[in-house]
Structures are given as structure tokens and as C-alpha cells.
Structure 1
Amino acid sequence: MRFGLRWLLAAWTVVVLLGAAGAAGPVAAPVTDGGTSAAALSEMFQRYGDTSGAWLGADRTASVALPDGRRLWLFSDTFLGRPDPDGARPRTADLVHNSAIVQDGARLETVTGGSPARPASLVSAGDDQFSWIGDATVRSDEVQVLVNRYRRTGQGPLDHALAGTELTTLALPTLAAGQVRALPVGAKVSWGSEVMVDGEYTYVYGTEAAGQMKFAHVARVKGTDLGQAWQFWTGQEWSNRAGESGRLLSGVGTTYGVRRVGEQYVLVTHENNLMFSSDFVAYTAASPTGPFEGPQYLFRAPETDAGHIVYDADLHLDLARPGSLLVSYNVNDLDEAVAYADASIYRPRFFEVPWPPKRAKQLPAPPAAVTAVPDGAGTAGVSWKAESGLSYQVYRRDVTAGQTHFVRLPGEAAGTFRSEFLTNGHKYEFGVTAVDRRGESAMSPVAGMTATVPPPPAPTLVRADPDNAGKVTLHWTEVPFVQLFKVYYRDLTTGQRGRTAAGAYPGQSATVGPLRHDHEYEFTAVAVGGGGDSVHSKGIRATAVVAPPAAPSIPSAQTRPDGTVLLSWAAVGPGLGYRIYQRDATAGAQDWGPPGLATTTQFRSRPLQHGHDYEFVVAAVNDGGEGARSPVVRVRAQLAPPGEAPTRLRAEPKGTAVELSWRSQATWHWIFRRDVTAGEKEFTREEIGAQGDEATLTNLVAGHEYELAVAAFNPGGAGPRSESVRVVVASALPTNLAAVATGPGTARLTWRETRTDVLYRVQMRDATAGEQWRTEPYPVDGNRHETFMLIAGHRYEFRLQVNDLTTDPVSVTAQ
């Protein structure tokens, strides 16, 4: 299974940003001065999971009272959404590895990381890692939360390893997430099973997984700041070195509760000295560091009668009714199909028991003559002298595994008992108690033995059921005294020879995948028993099937100022890719063309043609191919005009032209000009835009002053203009114009050119005769001009014209 993984590590030891994910939910269980009942809390979470539409179920279930009266519930693996009408958990339900629920009076609200459209874990980890929530404590201005980070070591649900413990903070009263920082406490113990403030210290309890056992550890900090230096209990004294932390007792869960009740410290845990136990037990001590005595059996979870498993425990002493302990625990199922078929399974449960427990003044005597004898099949025969009228309970302790306390074995006996699930070469101790209507006796003297356990037989694979999501569920027959199996596969289609490990699985089934569509695989299984691993089972074959995914719902389309369109849609399912098709409806396009690709539920198109209507569809893709396309969404592309004006405009006259330069991020620009000399009041835009950040203006009037400006433009329009500059176009008029009579009826004009690319028009008149100015018919090139047929004695005036400018006149009297 690939969900609700905390229960697996609880049963097997083989191995903040904040954003509301849902609106305020149903009415919560009332908390009064008299406390809250276990039934009310269990019902509160069942009702919220059924009706909130935000939270389907979770495990861990730590609770912290906030200073303003609210309560913060912290969870690890959490399913989001709402159940199907038949009460099943949808296969498409989002899973995050940690979350919270804020209880404000009678209202509940789910809190995750990410966004409502894309929820994420409250505390995120790196790639191929995830974080499970530990306990928390409240300081004056913040909630400090311990989180344990795990890395994946394989494909199976048990294939994880502790990577370290981190501390994150939530600000009060806003619960805004602070930084997550690693604590220098090593990776042997998952710290945060419990946080208990007691006197001048805050005690932090943790769990060490070692083989098939779990051991409690304790550390402390001075005051209430978990970010300060930690000290670790070695078993004899406090040490500053995490590696010297010592074991307190065995058989705790990943989560357990510790609180001071009266003069005693009470530790409540799921019974983990025995796999898949239905019992919850208490240990007591006079000190936070122990030694702890017990166990005292508190409660048997009824969910195990339906084949479910229970795990983890936490004390909620501030919610308990007077004279009782209030304990939460978690429920799941080894069969993934069962867990998905009923969303109510994977939700917190609560029980309450009177405390301190009452004891009878007179109890039966313990049995005598207890013996324990191993057999060759991996079991032990326990016998004792039985008496009529009494029933008996058998207890066992695995000395070799370091088990610190005896565990009660399921079932009653009347003189003989067969103990199963032993480990080869381990030394065990057995004790027996007598039970009558008055209660249970003290334990008998113990009997010891060393187990002889052969490797188990290989399981028989009986069925391989492919689903339509690329997964294959394997089923095998029961193997006596075996609860753990390793699964392997090889891809026959690709000719794979060696086997690929698919992980370790408890129970009698495993779901492997996703696998490649239309590939045939061979699967084998290995039984893991107290005598080691069996040989591989005979292979069973199946062809993986991946059905194309369903069509996404109609996407939303949001135009962007850069001319792109941002598409968003609801996820069809986990692990899918998407193809996005578009066509230009304004241009009459009928074909969708090649698709864009996305691995998330958002896609941004390339810049589109401004003012055109575009149509988009989205299709989900998996190994089985492309699914049906979504309904069409239509949107008009809009490109915003440039928002910034060009800067540093410069104008340099080059003859009758002007060279412009400027700075701008845009590509195209309009040039605006105004002829100041001609008295123009308004700017005129050039007809052709300029590409880049420079341009040359021609067709200017020599000698005129111009005011110039530049503005960037795109299909959406023109942006703001730059600051204007003024420039005077150089005059083309020559200087030093002179006229000399050169002979009868002739004269010569000479001048000095200011430019060499100019043609001149010569104008003249007979001043003596009172003649008007007339222009010679042909333009003149160079710096001289000869004129003829002048009347002797008449005075003539001459001038040169360039464009609409003329020089001052000069005169000469003809000979």
C-alpha cells in the first residue's frame, strides 16, 4: 500500500507554510470543565471526514491547546477531499504527509501547505523524502512542532528510513509558518513521540526502531524552547551527546503518550512487543526517565475483530474527564481495497479508562511448575499445573531482542499453550498468570527456552489481478507463523533476467506498480519468518494495463499582459501528464496543431496574436495513452501596451538628417516630431515604426529646430512617450556669396559651400529696371555660376536658394 504509511512503521520495524485546504467544517465536540468523552471525539472526526469536503482521514492525532482557546490537532499522512456517495475513499483523493485541523470552539478547519488548488504537506521535505509530524508545545508567541523526515529506500510501503528530526514553528495567533531547521539529534531516534513540560524542563520522548523491536528514549531541554541545547538520558545520567541516548523500555509505538498524573508518570502506548496487537497498555514510573513498571492492560480495540489493524496512541489529558485517561489511536487495514472501500476506517478513535485502576485486595495465586519447550517448527510449548475454576494468561519476553517487559499473548489457556512467531536462535522467557472473577494474579516464575525455527516454506501465489492504472495486486496463501513477505518482479516484455524488488508487505496481498502498459511481468514472493527467508515462490504472470485517463473538466483561461494565456484545470489523478491543444478561432483555424506539454495542472501559452480569439482543450496522458479531451474554453488574447517609456533619448544632426538613439526593453518604437521653427503645436508620428533602439530621421528642413520623442509600441498599443529632446538641423546655405562683372554682359557668382551634397537655385533680378526675383531654370552644383546677357550699366542683384531658405543678396553693375 502507498498510503497511511505510519501504521506500517508502527507495526513493523523492518525498516510552515500554512494555507487553508477547506472552509470551516461541522460542529465539533464540546469541551467543558468536565472534559470531553471519547465517543464525542470519535464522532467529531467521523462527522468531519464525511461532511467537510476538505479532510477525509489521517493518523497521528496530536493535540495542542492554544492560548486563545483554540485547539490545534496535528496529523501525519492525510487524505483530502470528500468520500464517494457510498462512503468509499476516491482513488483520486490527494494525500499529503502531514496536516493540521484548527478547532475554534464548535468549528473545525483543515490546514495544509500549498494552495487550495494544489494542496501540499504542511511541512515539506526534499525530493524522494517526506515528513511525519511529531508532538508540539506552545511558547508565549509560537507553537514549536517536531517533525521527523524520512527518505525512501525502495518501492514497498515499508521501504523508508529515518533521515533526521527537524523543528518548525507556527506564529501565534496567526499560525503563520516559520523556518524549518534540522536539530543535531542524529537519525537513530525519531524524536517527538511525546513532548511533556514538567517543572523547569521540557521532556521529549522518541522511538528507536531496532530489528523487530521499538524502544523509547527521552531527552530534555531547560525551559520550554525546543531550539535550545538538548540533553539525553543514557540510562544513568544526562549527556549532551545524542549518540549516548539509552533505551527506557521496549514495545512502544512510533507515537505514545507520557504525562504526569498525580505522583506518577504514566506512559500509554499501543502494545508493540507483539505484532498486530489489539491491546493498549500503560506503564508507570516515579520519574520521567523511569524505570517504568507494567504493563497494565487498558483497552482492546474492537476494530481488529473486523480484520483491521490499530497503532499509535496519544494522551489528551487536558481534554479528559475527571478520574480518567483519554487516549487516541489510529486504524487502518492491510488490504488496500478494504481501506479504500470505507473512508471511515482511516480516522482517529478515542477511548477513556478510569485512572488510577482499582485493584482487588485478594487475588488468585500464580501458577506453579511452568515449563517452556521448543519444537522444530518454530513454536514453543508452554505448560503448567492448572487448577479448576481458573483461566490463565501466558506472557512472553524476547530476551535476545532486548525486550524489557513481558507481553500478554492472545487467548486463554487451561494448562498448555502454544507460542508462535518465534525467531530462530532467540532466547525467550515465559510466565503465566491465573485469572478468576477477582482479577489476575501475579506472574509465575519464568521458564526459559531458545527457539529453533527453520526457514518457512515459499508462499503459493494464487492470483495476480491487474487494475486499469498499471498496478497488479498479488494474492498468496497463508504461510504458518509468517506475517511478512517480500515481492519481486521482472519485465518479460523487455527480456529482463534479474528480479526487481517491489518491497516488503505484511498480510497476504500486495499491490505492485505502476508498471508499464501492455508489458507482461512475472511475479514471485518470499516469506520472511523467524528462521529467515524462504526460497522464491513459483512465478505468476500478469500483463499490466493502464487505461487512458478521463477527460479533465473545462479549464479556466486567464489572459496575461504579455499576450499569453494561463490555463488551469482540476487534476484528473496523481502522476499524470497533460497535453494542451490550441487553435486561432479568429483566423478560422480548424486543426489543433501540435500540443504543449505539462506535468502540472497549469500551462502558459506562448505569446498570441493580440485581439484574436483562441480555443483550448486539455487531455490527460499516462502510459496507456491520451485520454478524452476536456470541453473547449475560448479566450481573446490581450497584449498590454508597453508600460515603460524609453529613456536616455539622444539626437545628433547629420546634415539635414538627425540620428536618434535611446534605451528600451521593447522592440518596436514610434517616433514623434514637432517643427518648432515652423510653429507646429502638436507632435506628428512617423508613419513607419523603428525597430531596435536607434533610427535616422530624414526629410527635415535645414536650419529648422525640431522637438522629438519616442514611445514603445506593440499590437496592444503604444506606451508612454520618452522625455522630448530638441535639435537644430544644420543649414545648407553657402557663405561668402560674391558677384563680379567678368566682361560685356557677363558676371560670375562665387560662394563657399557648407555642404557638398546640395544643389542650389540661383535667383536674380534687374534692380535698375525694377524687376521681380526670378529663378534660373536649372539647379547649380559646386561653388560658382556664370550668368550672361546682362544690360550694360544696369545693376543686378543675385542670391542662392536651398529648399525654402535664401542667402542675403549681392549686387554687381554690368559692363
Structure 2
Amino acid sequence: MRWLLAAWAVVALLTVAAGAGPRARVAEPAGMSARELTAMFQRYGDTSGDWLGADRTASVPLPDGRRLWLFSDTFLGRPGPGGDRPRSASLIHNSAIVQDGDQLRTVTGGSPARPASLLSTGDNGEFHWIGDASVLGDQVQVLTNRIRRTGPGPLDHTLAATELATLTLPTMAAGRLRPLPLGDKVSWGSEVMTDGGHTYVYGSEAAGTMKFAHVARVRGADLGQPWEFWTGQAWSPRVDESARLLSGVGTSYGVRKVGDRYVLVTHENNLMFSADFVAYTATTPAGPFEGPHYLFRAPETDAGHIVYDADLHLEPARPGTLLVSYNVNDLDEAVAYADASIYRPRFFEVQWPLRQARRLPAAPAGVNATPDGSGTARVSWDVDGDLSYRVYRRDVTAGQTHFVRLPGDAPGRFEFLTNGHRYEFGVTAVDKRGEGAMSPVAAMTATVPPPPPPSTVRAEPDSAGKVTLHWAEVPFVQLFKIYYRDLTAGQRGRTGAGAYPGQSATVGPLRHGHQYEFTVVAVGGGGDSVHSQGVRATVVVATPPAPGTPSAQPRPDGTVQLSWPPVAPGLAYKVYQRDATAGAADWGTPGITRTTQFRSRPLEHGREYEFVVAAVNDGGEGERSPVVRVRAQLAPPGAAPTRLRAEPRGTAVELTWRSGATWHWIFRRDLTAGEREFTREEVGAQGHEATLRNLVEGHEYEMTVAAFNPGGTGPQSGPVRVKVGSALPTGLAVTATGPGTARLTWRETRTELLYRIELRDATTGEPWRADPYPVDGNTYEAVLLTAGHRYEFRVRVNDLTTPPVAVVAR
């Protein structure tokens, strides 16, 4: 029920405010009526397919003539066939719509397949609600309230900070968020208004059951510059000296200069669940403000809905009118989901300035207010039968600055008082000409006992793990606290499930199959009641339906990216796969994800695989989606190896290189032999080094390396050249050593070789003959030579032969 947070902000336990309106001065055609704007957003919510509804509704005119609409909690998707909001609809905490003429475009964060809040905290326990904004150069500066969750209930959250965000024009790309040194007492950004040489920023402070307006300013138009705060008498740089302007503002309100006066428009928040919107006026941006002037009564409350927030939009308004937006919701979750049109902006317009008749009824006399024992005030006055009357009340103890109009038009009892608070009551008379001045006030101090606990509490579990509680109305009580304990788990103490207005609340999701006991506490002006009698319910979580057919996209790394439509928020999903090429029947062990996307492990290139998806909740695994089939594809490596090095090692060559791949082909060509084309080695090399053998000794080679995988061969590295060493000795020499003997010597290029010695008697023309015994080392002794004959010698290694040397025997 997170999406009801903004609606329930009117309960006054909410501790944040957000704001209205643009302040970039651009020429923009005026004249959109309230009816046209309301219809525009209803139509867009029904047909866009992405934006389903939202609240807040600040607007900013852009320099290029477009208009930016800013929203807080936003539902995404499209309505169901009956106009309902699907339970699977995604909720994000802020978004925007860009209006270009009659064309609208939704702006969010994340990706089209997985949209997210436009401004994200990166923390599931915190989120941003949008404040007002203004244009500065090529950026939109947006004030946001960072909200921190404090518990499981819909009202369990608090203001953490006010931050300044930027959206880049014209794309609306979100920039960095900058924390502002403003503390957590006032949620700034209810309104941003440029006036003269300053930009004024209005905020809202929650204090008990009241909300108070504050104002600050910066010099010029940059909201990132130092702020000054109105103290009630002067401007101060200290945020802790900010003073209250007036009470009864909503979570957002609008302030603009209209003519020679400043007009503040707000939902009437001095009274819980009011249907009224009011205006206050002042001669300076900091007040003092006079009013209230009642502008409009929202018709949606007649259907049991609630209304809240007010944003003032001057630029698109028709001449001579105030154009105001407000938000609508319902405290009953089932009602709000049954009709997607509820949670969308509404607009109204009123003529301004208001006209007032010259002659009005006189103020009533004899006004008297007395407390009674039931926690109400009994108010009476002298009645004239030709007139009707309106009763106003001010809570002096709570610091209420202005009177609020109460329901009812005759002497009687007026309820919803707080114990020990001092109240003032006034009465006005109304005839066909209008409303007259207020009577002298009558004061009293309320005596309010604690309320009785709610009776006839009943619990209705649904099939989604939630339990809806209903209880009878408790007089003079509008807020209730819910508690539960898990009987199946043996829980003894109670767990708070939050505070709720109205006569119903939905708690959960809870554990499937567990029995819980629920109690309800009434919160009244005299304190909390005792706990109601406990009511029990066993939680049921039906397994979720099957997801729609997944989409499957093969990726270059051999994986498959799957995505599918969400079934409902908060579910996990199991993803099964099998090898269709191999004809596998077993789906194997599934992968698990908490999103609607999944990437498989690397698969075998060229083979077909089948995938199915099943949603999982506390009740178990649901039915599987239709099967999707896809062929795995592995792209060849895209990068060539680098830093290829070649080192001769005798008649072999050692290659090393750098690469992110595992397997590589080696290519070579023999430059000495005149080869022009590279030849690939028959066996691939694993790793990043290899030794090439079977090379021709003494030949120069050029070599390259390329990575490969089942998808193909990547680009080749730059070539390197290397000359293969020779095993032939050098420095061959022969010397006659005695009668019939000679010594042959040489320098070895490699050790541990065996040499064949070939010789011939050149004097007789003898052909070359080989000594039958191989020789190691670097010397050879020849014997039985014929004196005076010339002998030639040479050495053979690995089919290579040295040039001959000669000697004449003694």
C-alpha cells in the first residue's frame, strides 16, 4: 500500500511537503481550461501504455515552449479491460511528463524494459518525492524531499533531507543530486517563485496534527546559492530561525503574485479530509496572509474519495482565472485499484480576484461555546430564520493561525477536538448576497476522554497474502493503529502494522498458511484507546498465474537475455532451460531472479535452447509461461591480441602475447622461402604462450596470433619477425697433427648435439664419405691419412652441412 502514502499525507502525521509551479519566464499561449487539462491526463492515462496515474502535479514552462509536468508516486502500465488498475502495475516514486502542444511523453529513469524513478536514491529504504522546479540556463533545477522509511505502515516514514536535482534540457536527463544544508524539520519545495531579484522557496513543517508554511529565498535564480530564511521580522542565513507563516497548508501548495498581491492556494489542511480548497493573500511574499477565501469544493469526496495537494498554474490559465490542480485517491485499496482514473490530476479554475457584495449580513450575536463530556464543543448563537450560518474554529494551543470552516450550519455539537486544547469559535451569517463578517469569538478548553476501542472488528484474508480489517466507526476518531501477532510462529508480543485513517486497513503480505491475531486501537483527541478484541485469520497466498511469453535475445557472449511482463509486484521468478538441439526433455535446475529479466549462463554456439518462466511467492511456484526457443550465438572475439613477442630458442620459437581470450590460432609465413600467405597452425594454443617447432633453421619467419571461439576467429595481432637459429657449428678449422693424422675443431652453437664428419681425398678425387661414428663435443681426430695428399672436411647436423675446410697430410 505504499502508493497511498501521498494520499494519507493529509492525515497530518505525514512529515513532508512538496510543491507547485514553474517560474521560467517564457512566452506561452494561455487558455487551457481546467476541464481540458483534466481530460488530457485522463486520456493519457488510458491510452499511453506507460503512465497510468500519479500525484503532485507541479509544472514548469520550458524555454522552447514545451511544458514539464513533475509527479511523485507514479503507477506505470495501462488500465485493465474494465478500467481498473492491474495489481501488476509498477510503482515508482517520481516521474515527469513533457507536454509539446497536445502531445505528451513520459520521462522516467531506468530502461524501457525496466523503468525506475526519474530521481533515485539507490537505497530501497529511501526515496524522493518531487518538489517544485525552475529553469536555470540549460537545466531544470528540481527540489526533492528525500524520504526515509521507519516501519511497515503506510505512514511510517520521515523527512531525511531536501536535495537539489538537475534535469538537462532538452532531453530531461537526470543529473546529480546535491544535498542542501536545510535540515529535516521543513520539507522545502512546496513552491518556487521568482519575484524581483530573488527566488522564493516555500516549504511545509509538520508539527503534531498541524502543518505550517515557511519561506526562504536566494538572490537571483540559482537555487544552489546560499539561502535566507524569514524569521517573522527579517531574513536570516540560519535555517533554525525560519518562522511559521500560517497553518493549514497541504503537503504542496502554490504561491504566485497576481496583480499587486501574493496569492497562496492550498487544500484546506486545518481540517482532516476536507473537500475545500482555499486562498490566502498578502502584500509581500512573507505575508502576513489574510483569509481564508474559499475557492472550490471537490466533488470527488461525495463518492468517498479523498482530495489533497494544490498546485497553482498561472502560465496555461485562461485570463482572469486561477488554475489549480489537486490530487484524488481513496483510502480503500480495493476501490483505488478498481478504478484507475481515481489516481490522476484534477483541475479547477476560479475567477480572480473574487467579487464581494457591498451589503452583507451582520455578524451573529450571542455566540457561546462550551465543552461536553464526550469530547465535543457545543456552540450556540442567536438565530435569524432568514439566514444560514457557517461555524469557524481555531485551535489556539496547536498554533493554528487562521480559522477553518466546519461542517454544519446550525447551533449544535462540533467534534474532533484534542484534550486540553484551547479553541476559539466564530460564526458568520449567509444570505443570497454572500457571507458576512465573523462574530466575536467564543473560547473554550476541550475535555476529551480516550476513545473506546473499535468494535465488531472483522478480518478478511485475500488470496495474495494480505488481510483487510474492517471495524465500526468510533465517534470523534479518524485515525487507527493496527497490530498483529503470528500465532503459528508462537509470537507473544504484538507487531505494529502502521496507522490508518477510515474504517478499514489492508495489512501484508504475511506468511502463507500462518494464523494471525489482529487488534485495532483508536487514536482520538484524548489519546489511544485500549486494544480491540482480537480477531483471527489464516493467511492464504495463492500461487501466481503464469507470466506472459518471454522474449529471448541471444547475446554476443553466448548467453541469452530473457525478459517477460511482470505478474505482480514483489514476486520472484524461476527460469528453466533445456537443450532443444539435443532433444532434452528435462528442464533441469532453474535460475532464480527477483526481477523480470534473466541472463543465462554461456551456451553452446549454434544450438537451440528452450526457456520457460514461473512466478514464485510465499504460496509456492505458479504455472509456467509459454515456451520460447532461441539459438545461442557466440560472436567471434572482437579484440586482437597485443604485445606479441617472439624469441628464438635454438631451432624453435617461443611466442608470448596478451589477450582476454583463452584459445588462439597462430599464423606464420616463411619469408626466406618467399611465402606470401600466412599458414595457420593445425593445433590451437591454449593460454597466452606457445612454442613453434619444425621450423627451417636459419630462415626468417613472420608470425601473428588471433583469438578464436566456437563463433569464429577474431582479428589477428600485429605481426612479429624472428630468424630461426641454426645448429651448424662455426669456426671450423683443421690442422695436421702428425704423420697421417689431423685434428678438426669448431665452435658449437648448441650443446648436446651429435655431429657427422664427412671427408674426402681431394688429391685422388675421392667422393665424400661419412665417418661411421657420430661425434659429440667440438673436436675430431682423423687418422690414416696419406702423406702429401690434400684432404677436405665438413660437418653435418640435422641435414645441414658446413662449408668444407682443407689440410695437406704429412
The TM-score normalised by the length of structure 2 is 0.92
Q: Given that residues 12 and 211 in structure 2 are in contact (C-alpha distance below 8 angstroms), is that contact kept between their aligned partners in structure 1?
A: no
Aligned counterpart in structure 2 of residue 231 of structure 1, from 225, 228, 232: 228
Q: Given that residues 34 and 322 in structure 1 are in contact (C-alpha distance below 8 angstroms), is that contact kept between their aligned partners in structure 2?
A: yes
> 1:472 corresponds to which residue?
467
Aligned counterpart in structure 1 of residue 47 of structure 2, from 22, 46, 51: 51
Per-residue deviation, 1:421: 1.0
Q: Does 1:531 align with 2:513?
A: no
Per-residue deviation, 1:314: 2.0
| Greater mean alpha carbon deviation, residues 642-651 or residues 531-540 | 642-651
Q: Does 1:202 align with 2:199?
A: yes
Aligned counterpart in structure 2 of residue 92 of structure 1, from 83, 88, 92: 88
Separation in 2, partners of 1:192, 1:814:
114
Q: Counterparts of 1:134-173 in structure 2 under 5 Å?
A: 134-173=131-170
Q: Does 1:592 align with 2:587?
A: yes
Does the C-alpha gap of structure 1 residues 642 and 580 become closer, same or farther in structure 2, counting only changes over 3 Å? same
> 2:383 corresponds to which residue?
386
Amino acid at match of 1:216: A
Separation in 1, partners of 2:651, 2:118:
70
SS in 2 for 1:319: coil
Aligned counterpart in structure 1 of residue 172 of structure 2, from 158, 172, 175: 175
Aligned counterpart in structure 1 of residue 514 of structure 2, from 482, 499, 519: 519
Does the C-alpha gap of structure 1 residues 640 and 38 become closer, same or farther in structure 2, counting only changes over 3 Å? closer
Q: Given that residues 759 and 791 in structure 2 are in contact (C-alpha distance below 8 angstroms), is that contact kept between their aligned partners in structure 1?
A: yes
| Greater mean alpha carbon deviation, residues 315-324 or residues 524-533 | 315-324
SS in 2 for 1:713: strand
| Greater mean alpha carbon deviation, residues 395-404 or residues 52-61 | 52-61
Separation in 2, partners of 1:721, 1:238:
70
Separation in 1, partners of 2:28, 2:779:
115
Does the C-alpha gap of structure 1 residues 364 and 721 become closer, same or farther in structure 2, counting only changes over 3 Å? closer
Aligned counterpart in structure 1 of residue 100 of structure 2, from 82, 100, 104: 104
Amino acid at match of 2:101: G
Q: Counterparts of 1:64-103 in structure 2 under 5 Å?
A: 64-103=60-99
| Greater mean alpha carbon deviation, residues 208-217 or residues 704-713 | 704-713
Does the C-alpha gap of structure 1 residues 814 and 562 become closer, same or farther in structure 2, counting only changes over 3 Å? same
Amino acid at match of 2:316: L
Per-residue deviation, 1:253: 0.7
> 1:63 corresponds to which residue?
59
Does the C-alpha gap of structure 1 residues 97 and 770 become closer, same or farther in structure 2, counting only changes over 3 Å? same
Per-residue deviation, 1:250: 0.9
Per-residue deviation, 1:351: 1.8
| Greater mean alpha carbon deviation, residues 523-532 or residues 380-389 | 380-389
Give percent identity, aligned residues only: 74
Q: Given that residues 711 and 722 in structure 1 are in contact (C-alpha distance below 8 angstroms), is that contact kept between their aligned partners in structure 2?
A: no
> 2:5 corresponds to which residue?
5
Amino acid at match of 2:380: S
| Greater mean alpha carbon deviation, residues 716-725 or residues 127-136 | 716-725
Amino acid at match of 2:624: R
Separation in 2, partners of 1:678, 1:784:
33
Q: Given that residues 756 and 795 in structure 2 are in contact (C-alpha distance below 8 angstroms), is that contact kept between their aligned partners in structure 1?
A: yes
Amino acid at match of 1:71: R
SS in 2 for 1:3: helix
> 1:261 corresponds to which residue?
258
Does the C-alpha gap of structure 1 residues 762 and 587 become closer, same or farther in structure 2, counting only changes over 3 Å? farther
Q: Given that residues 157 and 504 in structure 1 are in contact (C-alpha distance below 8 angstroms), is that contact kept between their aligned partners in structure 2?
A: yes
Separation in 1, partners of 2:201, 2:453:
43
> 2:24 corresponds to which residue?
none
Does the C-alpha gap of structure 1 residues 278 and 813 become closer, same or farther in structure 2, counting only changes over 3 Å? closer
SS in 2 for 1:179: coil
Stretches of structure 2 lacking an aligned partner (at least 5 in a row): 16-26
| Greater mean alpha carbon deviation, residues 184-193 or residues 421-430 | 184-193
Per-residue deviation, 1:401: 0.7
Separation in 1, partners of 2:29, 2:564:
48
Does the C-alpha gap of structure 1 residues 248 and 793 become closer, same or farther in structure 2, counting only changes over 3 Å? closer
Aligned counterpart in structure 1 of residue 332 of structure 2, from 332, 335, 342: 335
Per-residue deviation, 1:140: 4.5
Amino acid at match of 2:217: R
Q: Given that residues 733 and 806 in structure 1 are in contact (C-alpha distance below 8 angstroms), is that contact kept between their aligned partners in structure 2?
A: no
Amino acid at match of 1:53: G
Per-residue deviation, 1:525: 1.2
Does the C-alpha gap of structure 1 residues 802 and 217 become closer, same or farther in structure 2, counting only changes over 3 Å? same
The TM-score normalised by the length of structure 1 is 0.91
> 2:23 corresponds to which residue?
none
Q: Given that residues 646 and 720 in structure 2 are in contact (C-alpha distance below 8 angstroms), is that contact kept between their aligned partners in structure 1?
A: no
> 1:28 corresponds to which residue?
none
Separation in 2, partners of 1:716, 1:616:
22
Aligned counterpart in structure 2 of residue 462 of structure 1, from 442, 457, 460: 457
Per-residue deviation, 1:459: 1.3
> 1:344 corresponds to which residue?
341
Q: Does 1:626 align with 2:631?
A: no
Q: Given that residues 143 and 189 in structure 2 are in contact (C-alpha distance below 8 angstroms), is that contact kept between their aligned partners in structure 1?
A: yes
Amino acid at match of 1:283: Y
Q: Given that residues 217 and 247 in structure 1 are in contact (C-alpha distance below 8 angstroms), is that contact kept between their aligned partners in structure 2?
A: yes
Aligned counterpart in structure 2 of residue 712 of structure 1, from 704, 707, 711: 707
Q: Does 1:324 align with 2:321?
A: yes
SS in 2 for 1:503: strand
Q: Does 1:287 align with 2:249?
A: no
Q: Does 1:664 align with 2:654?
A: no
Per-residue deviation, 1:278: 1.1
> 2:22 corresponds to which residue?
none
SS in 1 for 2:119: coil
Per-residue deviation, 1:422: 0.9
> 2:600 corresponds to which residue?
605
> 1:654 corresponds to which residue?
649
Q: Counterparts of 1:550-699 in structure 2 under 5 Å?
A: 550-699=545-694
SS in 1 for 2:108: strand
Q: Given that residues 461 and 540 in structure 1 are in contact (C-alpha distance below 8 angstroms), is that contact kept between their aligned partners in structure 2?
A: no
> 2:500 corresponds to which residue?
505
| Greater mean alpha carbon deviation, residues 596-605 or residues 233-242 | 596-605
Separation in 1, partners of 2:669, 2:6:
77
Per-residue deviation, 1:796: 5.8
Per-residue deviation, 1:341: 0.6
Stretches of structure 1 lacking an aligned partner (at least 5 in a row): 16-30
Which deviations, in whole Å up to 9, do the C-alpha atoms of 1:322-342 show, x marking residues without a partner?
333222211111111111111
| Greater mean alpha carbon deviation, residues 746-755 or residues 787-796 | 787-796
> 1:726 corresponds to which residue?
722
| Greater mean alpha carbon deviation, residues 299-308 or residues 171-180 | 171-180
Which deviations, in whole Å up to 9, do the C-alpha atoms of 1:573-630 show, x marking residues without a partner?
2222222222333344332322223232332333333333333333222222222223
Q: Does 1:799 align with 2:788?
A: no
Q: Given that residues 795 and 814 in structure 1 are in contact (C-alpha distance below 8 angstroms), is that contact kept between their aligned partners in structure 2?
A: yes
> 2:440 corresponds to which residue?
445
Which deviations, in whole Å up to 9, do the C-alpha atoms of 1:31-82 show, x marking residues without a partner?
9967232222222222222222222222222222223222222222221221
Does the C-alpha gap of structure 1 residues 709 and 323 become closer, same or farther in structure 2, counting only changes over 3 Å? closer
Separation in 1, partners of 2:719, 2:53:
63
Which deviations, in whole Å up to 9, do the C-alpha atoms of 1:629-671 show, x marking residues without a partner?
2333333333333333333333333333333333333323333
> 2:419 corresponds to which residue?
424
SS in 1 for 2:334: helix
> 1:309 corresponds to which residue?
306
Aligned counterpart in structure 2 of residue 483 of structure 1, from 475, 478, 483: 478
Q: Given that residues 97 and 105 in structure 2 are in contact (C-alpha distance below 8 angstroms), is that contact kept between their aligned partners in structure 1?
A: yes
Does the C-alpha gap of structure 1 residues 417 and 663 become closer, same or farther in structure 2, counting only changes over 3 Å? same
SS in 1 for 2:176: strand
Does the C-alpha gap of structure 1 residues 613 and 322 become closer, same or farther in structure 2, counting only changes over 3 Å? closer
Amino acid at match of 2:163: E
Separation in 1, partners of 2:336, 2:613:
32
Separation in 1, partners of 2:28, 2:809:
128
Separation in 1, partners of 2:187, 2:737:
116
Q: Given that residues 577 and 611 in structure 2 are in contact (C-alpha distance below 8 angstroms), is that contact kept between their aligned partners in structure 1?
A: yes
Amino acid at match of 2:9: L
Q: Given that residues 737 and 743 in structure 2 are in contact (C-alpha distance below 8 angstroms), is that contact kept between their aligned partners in structure 1?
A: no
SS in 1 for 2:175: strand
Separation in 1, partners of 2:600, 2:557:
10
- Paired residues, number: 796
Per-residue deviation, 1:284: 1.9
Per-residue deviation, 1:683: 3.5
